[in-house]
Structure 1
């Protein structure tokens, strides 16, 4: 493990958990890499949300935030939904740290920047927050839904900002019915890497894959707020999290020797996200995977590489994992690094042992997959397939201690025996419960780490 520290950047560390031993002929190497960022809001960073001039001068990177509020006609059914959306956005505005650049976008089949307007961003202070909340009170529901246009306007607004942290918050209550799917995909491709975005679906008339797709492409979070009255608390938490970010555009850099193939790179905690296809080549044997913005937090990544065959007793460096921060003025800044090894042995006990971290997250990734497959089978009337997949999900959730997912599963199936995954599909399932399970299927629980990294 190694770490580096620079002014205005939190301290990052990398720990590698793996069983490095392979049997004769073995070629697949798995490792879980824990990346931790500390020092945000204390030294070399900016104060956390709620800090203002009374708590000391503002330091470090600036932030810009665009709030995108669904104002389509369906937001008027029931009328309280629009009111809750306005109140939630007002709560997020109140949570902005003074000095943050921000704007509010009303989203229908077109996008309109309703505050401050004219393609500008406002600087958060008591006056501009009050003006933004007054603009929110004037919002009315009407029109269709074209999420790609909302994101494109947010991109233009954030692109004009001299800020390191660029973040969006998007709320929708309906399906993206007023633009073609390829238009939304094109907007996401344009915005990817330019800003991060948290997405929320309110009620039950929206499409999980659309909202989750926005969050995945823009390295944010996705969730359901089934009851609109819960929007304000959720928006406040999202904004507090955004205000806690210290550094943006951190990349996970993977170097591999000649002959080593990368099978996959996935984030596995706090959520499962496959980064394999998002690699950007940075050299003959190096590539960067985006991780977005960081505050004080820790995330886990699972990587798998295929190494050339070697004889008993041989050893090689299978991969080098680094955290880097792009620097427009020069070479990328290294933040931390760790090493992944491969050692060939004839000790059967050593080579067949599965590292606990690798085993745990392999199960968590499978858990997310079988939940999604089970719910899809249920929608299509394949009840035997749905029972098998959701039963396996119950088994995995129970074995890994993922109590929240187990609780959500219990609203969709009757659990006969969690240990064996024996379940019965419920005859009636509330739509909100099914959508909540699908939306939160990628959330994982972390494995309890042993003292220090395990690199056997």
Structure 2
């Protein structure tokens, strides 16, 4: 483990958990990389990458937030949805700290910035927060839904302040993306990926989990369900507090491998599953960067799998060097290494050593299997294949019980009756509400940390 820190900025630590012993001729090396940032938050200095010019104000214009509120016609059925959205947006606005740039966008089949309303971002203060909350009274429900247009509007607003490094959007909807094509949404997501992060929330049961997950996944955020409008305010307040805690933007996980070795996959495995493999950006000879987004005081786990050249007993090698890196655009010149760890390989004929599975690797392999079992089970249920749905969700119950994932275990009990948790024996419930089914699917990628 290696650590680098700067005064008044988060300290990054990298820990590597693996079994470095391989059998004669084996080629696959697995490691869990735990990255922990401490000493950040909203106090104690400017965020990393913020220049003197950008600092400004008492707390500094180090972050920008755009709230994207669904105002399509369906938000009036029932009227409590739009009322809940107004209250939630007001709660989020109250959580924005002084000096942060922000805007509110009403989303329909188009996108209209309702505050400050001039195509720019306002700077949070007691006065602008009050005026922003007052503007929410003018939000009315009418029109369709085109989330790609909403994301594009958020990007345009963020571009008015390119000096601000931490950019985050919160998107709320109650329906499907019916007023633009899937290709339109895909293109919009592609255009804005890497420019800002986004948390997505669906209220009620008429939206598509896969649609919001596509957005949140590409923009390195979260997806969640709020079954009742009354729960929106607390959820928005929590999301905004998380956004306000970010201190470092655009951190990359850089993986260097030796000649003839290749990275098979890179996945975030905690606090939620996210496959980063396809997002690799080349970063020099035999090195690639994988985006991790913005960081506050938090810890995340990543599963890295590297394929190395086969070797005979007694050989050893460095399989990968893993670094946390700030790109030149943020560090102000050359890439800056924040922390570093090493993944090793040693070939042995000791069967006990080479067959031992790292507890961390085993745990997160199980969590990935858990998520897949839930998603496949719920899809089978939608298609009317109760036998397959029962088998898949039984496997999910077994894994959740064995891994101590109590949150997911309790959620699964909304759709199945557990006969034997240890064996994964379940019966699918006769009457499963759409809300419970969607909640189980939405939360399927949330993992539990490995027990140290």
| TM-score, normalized by the shorter chain, greater than 0.5 | yes
Q: Which residues of 2 match residues 40-439 of structure 1 at below 5 A?
A: 40-41=40-41, 43-45=44-46, 57-58=58-59, 62-161=62-161, 162-328=163-329, 329-439=332-442
Q: Structure 1 residue 45: deviation in Å?
A: 4.5
Matches of 2:209 and 2:198 in 1, distance apart? 16
C-alpha contact (below 8 Å) 1:39/1:45 kept by paired residues: no
C-alpha contact (below 8 Å) 1:155/1:191 kept by paired residues: yes
Q: Structure 1 residue 25: deviation in Å?
A: 1.3
Matches of 1:399 and 1:100 in 2, distance apart? 44
C-alpha contact (below 8 Å) 2:261/2:319 kept by paired residues: yes
Q: Structure 1 residue 232: deviation in Å?
A: 0.3
Matches of 1:345 and 1:403 in 2, distance apart? 38
C-alpha contact (below 8 Å) 2:71/2:140 kept by paired residues: yes
2:52 — aligned with what?
A: none
Q: Structure 1 residue 327: deviation in Å?
A: 2.3
Q: Structure 1 residue 437: deviation in Å?
A: 0.6
Task: For residues 46-65 of structure 1, give each alpha carbon's deviation from its aligned partner in whole angstroms, at most 9, with x where no partner exists.
Answer: 6xxxxxxxxx9536x71100
C-alpha contact (below 8 Å) 1:10/1:44 kept by paired residues: no
Give secondary structure in 2 for the equivalent of 1:375.
helix
Q: Structure 1 residue 414: deviation in Å?
A: 1.0
Q: Which residues of 2 match residues 444-455 of structure 1 at below 5 A?
A: 444-449=447-452
Give secondary structure in 2 for the equivalent of 1:174.
coil
Give secondary structure in 2 for the equivalent of 1:67.
strand
Q: Structure 1 residue 44: deviation in Å?
A: 4.0
Task: For residues 299-325 of structure 1, give each alpha carbon's deviation from its aligned partner in whole angstroms, at most 9, with x where no partner exists.
Answer: 000011111110101000000000001
Moved over 3 A (4+): 41-46
Matches of 1:96 and 1:68 in 2, distance apart? 15
Give secondary structure in 1 for the equivalent of 2:391.
helix
Q: Structure 1 residue 9: deviation in Å?
A: 3.3
C-alpha contact (below 8 Å) 2:46/2:62 kept by paired residues: no
C-alpha contact (below 8 Å) 1:10/1:45 kept by paired residues: no
Alpha-carbon RMSD: 1.2
Give secondary structure in 2 for the equivalent of 1:311.
coil
Unaligned 5+ runs, structure 2: 48-56
Unaligned 5+ runs, structure 1: 47-55, 450-456
Q: Structure 1 residue 284: deviation in Å?
A: 2.2
Give secondary structure in 2 for the equivalent of 1:84.
helix
Matches of 2:225 and 2:58 in 1, distance apart? 37
Q: Structure 1 residue 138: deviation in Å?
A: 1.1
Give secondary structure in 1 for the equivalent of 2:35.
strand
Give secondary structure in 2 for the equivalent of 1:210.
helix
Give secondary structure in 2 for the equivalent of 1:156.
helix
C-alpha contact (below 8 Å) 2:198/2:220 kept by paired residues: yes
Give secondary structure in 2 for the equivalent of 1:441.
helix
Q: Structure 1 residue 263: deviation in Å?
A: 1.1
Matches of 1:11 and 1:45 in 2, distance apart? 14
Task: For residues 292-349 of structure 1, give each alpha carbon's deviation from its aligned partner in whole angstroms, at most 9, with x where no partner exists.
Answer: 0000000000011111110101000000000001123321110000000000001100
C-alpha contact (below 8 Å) 2:327/2:335 kept by paired residues: yes
Give secondary structure in 1 for the equivalent of 2:445.
coil
Q: Structure 1 residue 407: deviation in Å?
A: 0.5
Matches of 1:302 and 1:80 in 2, distance apart? 42
Matches of 1:248 and 1:159 in 2, distance apart? 16
Give secondary structure in 2 for the equivalent of 1:343.
strand
